[in-house]
Structure 1
Amino acid sequence: MTNRLHRALALIDAANAADPRGEALPYGERMSAELARLAPDASEVLQIAARGQHVERWLLPRSDYPEGKAGYLAWRREQARRHALRVGGIMAEAGYDPADCDRVGVLLRKEGLKRDAEVQMLEDVICFVFLRWYFADFAAGRDEASVLDIVRKTARKMSDAARTRALAEFALPPLLADAVRSA
């Protein structure tokens, strides 16, 4: 690991350590671990994007936006914009050039999903982290139709290779596995 990569990751971790709920730091670490597992040769920019994908997310609460899909999507767009700026600033502080700082913004805003291999890998990592660490809690207390809907939406975001790998790695009930296969 280069000095500047180590510094950028440490700065992201320091920012996330301020999360009053204590969720941001483990999330970033899980993203890094999943990226290392799925793409061990990932570029430094992709490694930083994975670690900083939710940097300081708590600073912009979902409750600041209207209920419903439009409010949710507006909140997510603003989060992506803020994450891109914050992580780009961290990278500049760690010694990365402006092109790399701009590139991390492309990844964090998910520009080119399904067309840009690194953007797609970041999305695949996000989906794997959700399935591995957050899906069970998310599904608990929701009806079967809601769970099926979120599995379909998650699977549609993933690459074909990631869907195949997810089916091999996760013990999904048949109905959910069929939803992943048909995405």
Structure 2
Amino acid sequence: MEASQRLTKAFELFDAANSEDPNTEVFQGKTIPKELLYAKRMTAVLNEFEPDTSEALQLTARCQHICRWEIPRESYEMNRVGYLQWRQNLKKFHAKKASEILNKVGYEEELIERVRFLLLKKKLKRDEETQTLEDVICLVFLKYYYAPFLVKHDDDKIISILQKTWRKMSEKGQQAALQLDFSGKGKGLIAKALE
């Protein structure tokens, strides 16, 4: 199978897995499984932000939240420690799921290992592709999930989250974030967070 065919096949299998998500979101009048929509947004933002990227990073972006609903946040203690455990276990879970699918498609172990490395967010700030992935995750959050997030949380919490998000991003990612279209309140809180 050619590289482009393998990529297409892997995307199809990732999307089929994410289509099983019982959680849905209405987008442009259509009800779509939440993680399927998230995966497509990741690909779209990656293609915009870093169009000439490796196959490994394209694959990673598409499966970054694969089958996430299988490990609900509520299955861990609702505190900082529980949250961090949940996040760590999710990364390992996504890496395992993605590896199984990539194996099935016929990818070589070296590429599968690279996708695992990226999904585990290894060497953030030191590995260029891990950093690009993190930038894309942050941009997807800011572009699609920040506005609904604003109405659910108080300003102090939002400012704290924005500051943490900003610290994770590269300068290029931060510049791209500043080009996004935000509401008046959204823009104001970003300005406060960056003071």
Name the counterpart of 1:71: 82
Q: 1:105 and 1:155 mapped to 2: Cα distance?
A: 24
Q: Structure 1 length normalisation: TM-score?
A: 0.94
Other structure's SS at 2:179 match: helix
Residue type of the alignment partner of 1:18: E
Does the CA-based 8 Å contact 1:62-1:75 persist in structure 2? yes
Match of 2:132 among 108, 111, 121: 121
Name the counterpart of 2:44: 33
Instruction: Note the 1:104-143 alignment, pairs <5 A.
Output: 104-143=115-154
Q: Structure 2 length normalisation: TM-score?
A: 0.89
Name the counterpart of 2:14: 12
Deviations, residues 148-172 of structure 1 (Å, cap 9, x unaligned)? 1111011111111111221123435
Q: 2:176 and 2:38 mapped to 1: Cα distance?
A: 21
Count matched residues.
181
Does the CA-based 8 Å contact 1:89-1:101 persist in structure 2? no
Unaligned runs of 5+ in 2: 24-32
CA shift, 1:94, in A, is 1.1
Q: 1:51 and 1:78 mapped to 2: Cα distance?
A: 19
Instruction: Note the 1:21-170 alignment, pairs <5 A.
Output: 21=23, 22-170=33-181
Deviations, residues 64-105 of structure 1 (Å, cap 9, x unaligned)? 111111100000000000101111111111111001111101
- 1:176 pairs with 2:190: yes
CA shift, 1:178, in A, is 4.9
CA shift, 1:54, in A, is 0.3
Other structure's SS at 2:64 match: coil
- What CA RMSD, in Å, does the superposition of the two structures yield over aligned residues? 1.3
Q: 1:178 and 1:47 mapped to 2: Cα distance?
A: 34
Residue type of the alignment partner of 2:17: A
Residue type of the alignment partner of 2:12: A
Residue type of the alignment partner of 1:17: S
Residue type of the alignment partner of 2:20: A
